Amino acid sequence: MLFSCLFFTWLLQMPTLIWTFATSSCLSESEYLLHHDGTVVIGAFFPILKSLPVSETIDWKTLSFDIDNVLEMNVHNYQLVLTMLFAINEINLNSHILPNTSLGLEIYNVPYLQRNALRNVFYWLTGLSTFIPNYSCRKNSKSAATLTGILWKTSENIGTVLDLYKFPQITFGPFDHDQIDRKQFPSLYQVAPKDTSLLSGIASLMLHFNWTWVGLLSTDDHRGAQFLSDLRKVLENNTVCIAFMETVSLWGESLNSLQTHYQMHILESSANVIVIYGSIAFILTVIKNRHSKYITKKVWVMNSKWVGQKFEQYTMLELSHGALSFSHHHGEIFGFTNFVHEATPFKYPEDIFLHVLWNKYFNCSLLQSDCKIIEKCLPNSSLELLPGNIFEMIMTEESYNVYNAVYAVAHSLHEMTLSQMQVQPQAYKDRTMLFPWQLHPFLRNIEVKNSVGDHVVLDWKRKTDTKYDIFNVWNFPTGLSLLVKVGTFAPSAPKEEQFSISEHIIDWPIGFTETPHSVCSESCSPGFRKVVLESKPTCCFDCTPCPDNEISNETGAVQCVKCPETHYANAEKRHCLKKTVTFLDYNDPWGKGLTLMSLGFSALTTLIIGVFVNHRDTPIVKANNRSLTYILLITLALCFLCPLLFIGHPNTVTCIMQQNLFGLLFTVVLSTVLAKTITVVMAFKIAVPGRKLRLLLISQVPNFIIPVCTLIQVCLSGIWLGTFPPFIDMDAHSEYGHIIILCNKGSAIAFYCTLAYLGVMAIGSYLMAFLSRSLPDTFNEAKFLAFSMLVFCAVWVTFLPVYHSTTGKVMVAMEMFSILASSSSLLILIFVPKCYIILFRPERNTVHHIRDERHDRSKNLLKT
């Protein structure tokens, strides 16, 4: 079989000029009529012959209507003739349909030129070779209906004439949604199933292969324009972008004219997938002739099998290799293949087309006198020997519609016959009179099942979307076509089961070593997200890295996902990693440094306390109120230990003690300093003999300053703890990849009220110390108190902006550092000078030295 196919491929590629001249005269002289008589006749107009102009430059305005320069047979469409013969033979042999009635047929060719399409219609209507409207040589009309197609334009032109006579017309071409208006063509019926689900099928194909950048190409007619508009909406709803949407116009009526004028620059688009709708062979031929360099770089998605519509079949095989086509699913009619196999010019000698076929392909001699072959043919010749790209043995979609149309007419005639016999049995005896318009009610209501179980309905309102078969076109062997079924689309099935395809069977176009990609922009890899470009379709985008702490772990992410607070994004921003829990620990550099400072200053304060205790009876210790000095030193020692509460894993107790203990200790410190300054002022200003205010100093009134001030702070702390106390908190943002556990102050207002209260006390102490800085006394410490308060205030004024500009462990460390700095300023500025005198200048810490200083001061005053 393969050898035979290869042989005929070689044979078909030989020049056919001799055959063309041998048969053109025979075909042009006939009326292209095939007639089988019967009680009732069904007419048909099939595009079996096509005329090809000899000249490429033709003036279509002056061209005669009766001229067909060169005729060529469309072998593929001849299957329509055989299908009609097969269906009528089946019906005539079936005793359950139209008993005692035989069906006949009259088949005419539809000329290739649309302007001549009505010529054979008038032959059929009038029985004349000249056009005389409303006049007929036919004595008795047996015609019940006529079949037209494949193009809707042909059916429309013929319908304008047939509708004048209310003659039933059934078109077997593709279903046209725009022509279902019964007012415009009330006598026309469409046998093809609706193809509204074709759009969903194409969209499912695009989504399956992730083809998001697609071109649309159609012929420039109303059906093509509507299809492009509807498909664009469906594709865009499924996130498929349109690279271009163009139509191909036919200039005049000539393919050559189109090739001369039309430029299809859209094929230079980056879209590797193009959907073609309409006259597929016509469009592909133009592309082949004008843009052959693109033929191996595109995947064509077609609305039907392209074979049967071809103009240049061999070049189109190369062009369409790897194409995918959608075709209505139908079962295989039993006995049809065998019927076609037995169809020969010897079995049907009246069929001129079979004689022409045998003359062309099987080396038969053709007598010009009667256009019949003689016995000089290849042995066992049959249509089965023709390659599949020339003639298919399996019933095509258009032939299947012809088969259903014949059965629809037969069943309608059967129903009409039964109805007439029941109403007027006597009047039906004369069956020679047939009025075709009486068939309309039965055609509109007919609904039957054919031999494979498919419903045949002519009323468009009751039509349902049928299943689609998806075919892959193979150009193998080279020059032969092989349509391989690779998938299906069933709109009535559940959503997840509607579309199925076997990718391993598909043979892609030359140039693609794997499944083709058709995208405007490559998908963004994990760690990136799409950024739609301005004034560009959504499928055209740039890829930008995800923002901080956001990830995308899939290809083509539209948005990045923010990691939870307990996690952080890795360097590639593809995964969220769990953060490490941390806090200001003793092993941390900040923790180590501040701990050493805290313990160091606390130890220094303890040493100073020891020095003051050992020298408690010396004048320098007695001079400035020993009890207040001891209170201040002990409190400072505790202040230096206070930062240790900020180090280590926080808990509820430490969080409460941190701020409240800090506030209480510093309140005692500042109230003690305030008491010391007030004591000095009172000693020199109001301690003069005879003044009543002297009793204040004698009655130890300054000693009440400490408990009163501390009580106020205790009240503030009580309100703080009662309303919004400090609590354990987590800071997941300050340090990348870490969760810092720290103490939240709770009420910020209470915290700042505590600082404000301490600030008022510090300013008050500074003012009192400043006023008493120049009072005459040997060991007057007012100047040291004033300077220490100045440093204290400077530390905490600096603390506030720095504290608010830091986060996490640094913020905690800054508060600790401020506590240590302010405490050390008091310790160093107030007590270090005294310790220096006590330890290194003991001679100045005696009563005699004090008396000498006072005597010298008195002399200086007398001199002045």
Measure the CA–CA gap between 362 and 382, rounded to whole angstroms: 9
Greatest mean pLDDT range, 72-81, 88-97, 144-153? 88-97
Greatest mean pLDDT range, 19-28, 80-89, 313-322, 809-818? 80-89
Token couple for 313? 């079949």
- Rounded to 5 degrees, φ, ψ at 448 are -130, 165
Greatest mean pLDDT range, 315-329, 452-466, 595-609? 595-609
Q: Given this model, what pLDDT does residue 292 score?
A: 56
More confident residue, 300 or 254: 300
Residue 517 lies inside a defined structural domain of this protein? no
Residues 620 and 538 in one domain: no
More confident residue, 17 or 588: 588
Q: Given this model, what pLDDT does residue 252 score?
A: 40
**At residue 294, does pLDDT exceed 70?**
no
H or E element: which one contains 470? strand 468-474
Summarised one tens digit per residue, pLDDT across range 52-70 is 544 444 444 444 444 445 5
Q: Given this model, what pLDDT does residue 691 score?
A: 52
pTM: 0.67
Tell me how far CA of residue 639 lies from CA of 220, 601, 630, 740, 751, in angstroms.
92, 10, 14, 25, 17
Residue 107 DSSP code? E
Residues 472 and 452 in one domain: no
Residues 550 and 620 in one domain: no
Residues 418 and 375 in one domain: yes
**Which has the minimum average pLDDT: 32-36, 343-347, 603-607?**
32-36
Tell me how far CA of residue 778 lies from CA of 499, 677, 772, in angstroms.
105, 15, 13
Summarised one tens digit per residue, pLDDT across range 733-745 is 778 888 888 888 8
Give yes or no for a contact between 53 and 155, defined as CB atoms under 8 angstroms apart: no
Summarised one tens digit per residue, pLDDT across range 589-620 is 888 999 999 999 999 999 999 988 888 888 77
Residues 645 and 745 in one domain: yes
**At residue 14, does pLDDT exceed 50?**
no
Q: Given this model, what pLDDT does residue 603 score?
A: 93
Q: Given this model, what pLDDT does residue 768 score?
A: 79
**Which has the minimum average pLDDT: 94-98, 145-149, 211-215, 366-370?**
366-370
**At residue 702, does pLDDT exceed 80?**
no
Give yes or no for a contact between 219 and 247, defined as CB atoms under 8 angstroms apart: yes
**Which has the minimum average pLDDT: 380-394, 545-559, 677-691?**
677-691
Residue 676 lies inside a defined structural domain of this protein? yes
Nearest residue to 503 via CA among 464, 456, 470, 545:
470
Residues 456 and 316 in one domain: no
Q: Given this model, what pLDDT does residue 82 score?
A: 95
Q: Given this model, what pLDDT does residue 130 score?
A: 62
**At residue 49, does pLDDT exceed 90?**
no
Greatest mean pLDDT range, 418-422, 476-480, 609-613, 702-706? 609-613
More confident residue, 114 or 197: 197
Nearest residue to 109 via CA among 101, 118, 100, 120:
120
Residue 839 lies inside a defined structural domain of this protein? yes
User: Which amino acid does the sequence have at 346?
Assistant: F
Residues 183 and 236 in one domain: no
Residue 685: pLDDT band (50, 70, 90) is low
Residue 427 lies inside a defined structural domain of this protein? yes
Q: Given this model, what pLDDT does residue 513 score?
A: 82
Q: Given this model, what pLDDT does residue 20 score?
A: 39
Q: Given this model, what pLDDT does residue 392 score?
A: 83
Measure the CA–CA gap between 541 and 365, rounded to whole angstroms: 66
**At residue 344, does pLDDT exceed 80?**
yes
User: How does DSSP assign 34-46, residue by residue?
Assistant: EEE--SEEEEEEE
Residue 511 lies inside a defined structural domain of this protein? no
Residue 167 lies inside a defined structural domain of this protein? yes
Q: Given this model, what pLDDT does residue 765 score?
A: 83
Mean pLDDT of 405-417: 93
More confident residue, 816 or 479: 816
Mean pLDDT of 79-84: 94
Token couple for 741? 């556990």
Mean pLDDT of 261-280: 71
**Measured torsion, CA atoms of residues 229, 233, 238, 242, in degrees rounded to the nearest 10:** 50
**At residue 728, does pLDDT exceed 60?**
yes
State whether residue 250 is helix, strand or coil. coil
Measure the CA–CA gap between 315 and 348, rounded to whole angstroms: 33
Secondary structure in 3-state letters for 676-744: HHHHHHHHHHCCCCCCCCHHHHHCCHHHHHHHHHHHHHHHHHHHHHHHCCCEEEEECCCCCCEEEEEEE
Mean pLDDT of 261-278: 71
Residues 365 and 293 in one domain: no
**At residue 433, does pLDDT exceed 80?**
no
Residue 610 lies inside a defined structural domain of this protein? yes
Residues 341 and 326 in one domain: no
Residues 385 and 436 in one domain: yes
Look at the chain and report how many structural domains it folds into: 4
Range of the domain at 489: 198-302+306-330+466-505
Q: Given this model, what pLDDT does residue 146 score?
A: 94
Neighbours of 185 (CB within 10 A): 19
Q: Mean pLDDT across the chain, nearest whole number? A: 79
Q: Is 864 exposed, middle or buried (0-12, 13-18, 19+ CB in 10 A)?
A: exposed
Question: Residue 614: which CATH number?
Answer: 1.20.1070.10
Neighbours of 695 (CB within 10 A): 10
Q: Is 782 exposed, middle or buried (0-12, 13-18, 19+ CB in 10 A)?
A: buried
**At residue 78, does pLDDT exceed 50?**
yes
Residue 513 lies inside a defined structural domain of this protein? no
Mean pLDDT of 566-573: 89
Residues 320 and 372 in one domain: no
Measure the CA–CA gap between 795 and 822, rounded to whole angstroms: 6
Q: Given this model, what pLDDT does residue 282 score?
A: 63
Cβ neighbours of residue 375 closer than 8 Å, sequence gap 6 or more: none
Residues 643 and 766 in one domain: yes
**At residue 370, does pLDDT exceed 90?**
no
Mean pLDDT of 553-574: 89
**Which has the minimum average pLDDT: 132-141, 248-257, 417-426, 500-509?**
248-257
Q: Given this model, what pLDDT does residue 29 score?
A: 45
Q: Given this model, what pLDDT does residue 3 score?
A: 39
Measure the CA–CA gap between 384 and 340, rounded to whole angstroms: 8
